[in-house]
Amino acid sequence: MTTISENPQAPGKAPAAPAGGTGLIGFLPPKAARALTLTGAVLTVASCFLSWTWTPAFPGDLTVYGYPGGLQLQVLVLGALTTLFALSSYGVKGTRWLTPAGADAALRLAALASFATAWFTVGAISVELGGPINLEPGGAVVAVATLLGLVGALGLPFTRPKLLPLDPEDTGWDRFKHRCGNGWATFKASFATGPARKLPSMHSSVEILIITGVLAVALGIFTYGVGTEYDELFLGFLITTGLGFAAVSKSGLVQQATSLTGKHQNLSIAGAFIAAALFPFTQTDDQYATLGVYILIFATVALGLNIVVGLAGLLDLGYVAFLGVGAYAAALVSGAPTSPFGLHLPFWAAVLVGAAASLVFGVLIGAPTLRLRGDYLAIVTLGFGEIFRIAVNNTDGTSGPDITNGSNGIASIPNLNIFGFDFGAEHVIAGFTIGRFANYFFLMLLIMAVVVLVFRRSGDSRIGRAWVAIREDETAALAMGINGFRVKLIAFALGASLAGLAGTVQAHVTYTVTPEQYLFAGPIPPNSAFLLAAVVLGGMGTMSGPLVGAALLFLIPNKLQFMGEYQLLAFGVALILLMRFRPEGMIADRRRQLEFHEKDETPDALAKAGA
């Protein structure tokens, strides 16, 4: 592995060592910049307890003094975070643990997050109510305070890379690219962090308590995001969580939390499922529990696709068809009146039928096609997805045999009844009323636990290591004696069966299965394009990455429906930006992170990763 990137202007020479410099706003001395940032953050927190507008016509009622509401809560959280990072930057005792990787870069992003959310709110008030005249003193104070905080944060010193000398034989275009590259490196350096300091040794009970706190925060953020009732609040939530998470990540806290969860992996997984099981109890009705169960279905299918794409490296563009095979198979044998078979099997039998049907189709499709590679395999799987949709659309008794009822689908699928527990009825548990979708939420949580167990055990097994070898270099893996075809067929069949397993529950949740539910692409997931995006954006080859990616990719399109025809445009721009700045995914393993950021890593880090 190459440990030192070569200088294109001076081949064979290592880049010059970085040197210290001023901030992006160079006229501010470091002490004044820190003082200005801290002052702006404190004023931001104080402004959240003032009235921002005079009328409750703006969603969230920002007219109350002493009681933050709506977008004020988000700005309050970011202002408090900026204040804590500023205190840590000063070296205040008891706050240094907040920034194990350094405070300045995290402070810049936190100040930027406060500024972006506050000015978005001020702008929304001005647009919807007819101008800035509708701002109360609190709105003006928060606008000025966040601007001061951002100016101060940008004035903090950062490590500036020395500019490399130009080769006199370079063309003008080469010099232009060189200058642009140095400018981009300078900008990135303003948000760069140093190596994270290791946490002091702690008792296991303290580490478990920290993991519990992290899971509680994650549950709170997810519940808040799902429960946003109006568009402005959700857009502010996206700004707050995106930039806020970036600030916390730059501080090193995410890295430390990841190390703790890795140390107690089994406990962390169990805690995550417990936290997810608490979600229905935070809801007063089934409105948002509905989103929860669909997110679990989407995430379960994405995790199954992660075996095919993330571990084995097989680009499958028709994976949603296996979800459809499982759903149709379960619908046909679950007692639906529109089913031509007239069967009503118990749920465990319907699950086996759906998973087995998807497994068979996975083997039938994979056996003749998995000898292909790359784009050719992708084209074949894309064709299979379209063939499935057209086939179930034509088996209506007119164009073909009467099996799937054509475009009308299989309707009136009855609710599940397992050991006398009716999933379609409300139940009272510990004083909480659990509705229909909450019942299916718990069922999908159990199925996801099975999928997670299969993913972990298969990924850590001998066959899992063979998948990774095939993904990294199939030719080298074949030369080492790995049966590439057999290994890929196992991955394809296993991924298909897991998708079919989720499809059996989807059929009962939606009451109806139709061909239009299983497209390659569309505005609302699940579809093959969104499933693949969930795996890539979340982090290929990881267990938690596709789950986080699927949750975001299902939630965001549902919340952005007010944008109408511009929804996919805004969503596509967001994906492009995410892939530009974090191509390895939101939660990536260390190997893939080094592959994408090899030039940004130090020689010691690369050598350690290579070892």
pLDDT of residue 593: 60
Q: Averaged over 141-153, what is the pLDDT?
A: 92
Look at residue 546 in the predicted model and tell me its pLDDT: 83
Distance from C-alpha of 161 to C-alpha of 172, rounded to nearest angstrom? 22
Per-residue model confidence as pLDDT tens digits over 372-400: 777 788 888 888 888 888 888 888 777 77
Give the per-residue pLDDT at 271: 85
Question: What mean pLDDT comes out for the span 157-166?
Answer: 50
How confident is the model at residue 159, as a pLDDT? 55
Do 284 and 290 contact (CB within 8 A), yes or no?
Answer: no
The answer to whether residue 267 sits within a structural domain is no
Q: What is the mean pLDDT of residues 40-69?
A: 88
Helix (H) / strand (E) containing 417 = strand 417-418
- When pLDDT is cut at 50, 70 and 90, the band that residue 163 belongs to is very low
- Concatenate the DSSP letters of all residues of 207-274 into one string: HHHHHHHHHHHHHHHHHHHHT--SHHHHHHHHHHHHHHHHHHHHHTHHHHHHHHHHHTHHHHHHHHHH
Q: What is the pLDDT of residue 603?
A: 43
Q: Which residue has the higher pLDDT, 589 or 326?
A: 326
What is the structure's pLDDT at 25?
A: 61
Which pair of tokens denotes residue 90? 């000063």
**Residue scoring higher pLDDT (13 or 328):** 328
- pLDDT surpassing 90 at residue 257: no
Q: Which residue has the higher pLDDT, 560 or 3?
A: 560
Tell whether 419 and 519 lie within a shared domain.
yes
Residue 167 is predicted with a pLDDT of: 44
| Closest listed residue to residue 534, CA positions, set 179, 297, 238 | 297
Contacts of 340 (CB under 8 A, 6+ apart): 332, 402, 403, 405
Q: Is residue 8 part of a domain?
A: no
The pLDDT, as a whole number, for residue 13 is: 37
- Residue 493 is classified by DSSP as H
Q: How high is the pLDDT of residue 592?
A: 61
Residues 59 and 111 in one domain: yes
pLDDT of residue 77: 93
The confidence score (pLDDT) of residue 590 equals 63
The reported pLDDT for the residue numbered 158 is 64
396 and 510 share one domain: yes
Would you say residue 182 has pLDDT above 70?
Answer: no
Which pLDDT score is estimated for 589? 65
Residue 192 lies in a domain: yes
Q: Has residue 322 got a pLDDT over 70?
A: yes
- Given 259, 291, 317, the domain boundary residue is 259
406-421: average pLDDT? 81
For residues 200 and 304, membership in a common domain is answered with no
170 — pLDDT class (breaks 50, 70, 90): very low
With vertex at residue 307, the alpha carbon angle to CA 303 and CA 312, rounded to the nearest 5 degrees, is 155
Residues 503, 413 contacting (CB under 8 angstroms): no
Of the pLDDT bands very low, low, confident and very high (cuts 50, 70, 90), residue 606 is very low
User: Which residue has 């892939």 as its token pair?
Assistant: 579
The verdict on 228 and 288 lying in the same domain is no
| pLDDT at site 467 | 85
Give 123-186 as a DSSP string: HHHHHHHTSGGGB-HHHHHHHHHHHHHHHHHHTS-EEEPPPPPPPTT--HHHHHHHHHHHHHHH
* Claim to verify: residue 418 and residue 551 sit in the same structural domain: yes
Domain contains 546 = yes
Given the structure tokens 């299918």, which residue do they identify?
301
Give the pLDDT band (50/70/90) at residue 522: low
For residue 477, the model assigns a pLDDT of: 84
Instruction: Indicate whether 177 belongs to any domain.
Output: no
What is the spatial distance between Cα 96 and Cα 87, in angstroms, rounded to a whole number? 8
What is the mean predicted confidence (pLDDT) over 138-142?
Answer: 91
Beta strand 427-429 pairing with 421-422: unpaired
Sign of the Cα pseudo-torsion (23, 29, 31, 34, in order): negative
Mean predicted confidence (pLDDT) in 569-581:
76
Half-sphere exposure of residue 336: CA atoms within 13 angstroms, side-chain side: 26
Average pLDDT, the chain: 78
Q: What is the DSSP letter of 308?
A: I
In whole angstroms, give the CA distance from residue 606 to residue 594: 7
- What is the average pLDDT across 335-343? 80
E strand or H helix that includes residue 195: none
Q: Give the mean model confidence (pLDDT) for residues 105-111.
A: 90
Answer yes or no: are the C-beta atoms of 17 and 162 closer than 8 Å. Answer: yes
pLDDT over threshold 50, residue 534: yes
Residue-wise pLDDT tens digits, 429-481: 767 777 778 888 888 888 888 888 888 888 778 888 888 888 888 888 888 88
Residue 433: phi and psi, rounded to 5, are -85, 120
540 Ramachandran zone, left/alpha/beta (phi>0; psi -120 to 50): beta
Q: Name the band, by pLDDT with cuts 50, 70 and 90, for residue 154.
A: confident
Q: Assign 95 a pLDDT band (cuts: 50, 70, 90).
A: confident
| pLDDT over 50 at 289, yes or no | yes
Q: What is the CATH number of the domain that holds 518?
A: 1.10.3470
Is 481 part of any domain?
yes
- pLDDT of 352 > 70? The answer is yes
User: Which residues make Cβ contacts (< 8 Å) with residue 167, sequence separation at least 6?
Assistant: 9, 10, 174
* Same domain as 208, residue 299: no
As a whole number, mean pLDDT of residues 291-312 equals: 86
- 324 and 196 both lie in a single domain: no
In a domain, 9, yes or no: no
The model's confidence at residue 186, banded by pLDDT at 50, 70 and 90, is: very low
CA atoms within 13 A on the CB side of 376: 7
H or E stretch covering 340:
none
Query: Is 453 inside any structural domain?
Result: yes
Give the tokens for residue 565. 């025809």
Q: Give the C-alpha separation, 270 to 211, whole Å.
A: 11
Angle between helical axes of 484-510 and 347-369 (0-180°, round to 10): 140
Buried b (16+ CB within 10 A) or exposed e, 5-32: eeeebeeeeeeeeeeebbbbeeebeeee
Q: Give me the mean pLDDT over the 17-33 stretch.
A: 62
What's residue 5's pLDDT? 38
In angstroms, the CA 366 to CA 342 distance is: 31
Same domain, 313 and 423: yes
pLDDT > 50? residue 7: no
Last residue of a domain, one of 212, 227, 259: 259
Our measurement of the distance from residue 204's CA atom to the centroid of its chain's CA atoms, rounded to an integer in Å, reads 29
Structure tokens at 530: 């969104």
Asked if residue 440 lies in contact with residue 510, where contact means CB atoms within 8 angstroms, the answer is no
Confidence of residue 176 (pLDDT cuts 50, 70, 90): very low
pLDDT of residue 83: 93
Task: With a cut of 50, say whether residue 547 has pLDDT above it.
Answer: yes
**Which pLDDT band, with edges at 50, 70 and 90, does 581 fall under?**
confident
The arithmetic mean of pLDDT across residues 81-97, rounded, is: 86
Task: Using CB atoms within 10 Å of the CB of residue 556, give its burial: 0 to 12 exposed, 13 to 18 middle, 19+ buried.
Answer: middle
Q: How many domains does the chain have?
A: 2
Three-class SS of residue 363?
Answer: helix
With bands split at pLDDT 50, 70 and 90, how would you rate the model's confidence at 175?
A: very low
Residues 207, 339, single domain; the answer is no
Q: Are residues 33 and 149 in the same domain?
A: yes
The range of the structural domain enclosing residue 470 comes to: 278-599
- Please say which residue of 198, 232, 259 terminates a domain: 259
- Whole-angstrom distance, CA of residue 328 vs CA of residue 574: 34
Same domain? 192 vs 309: no
Total residue length of the chain: 611
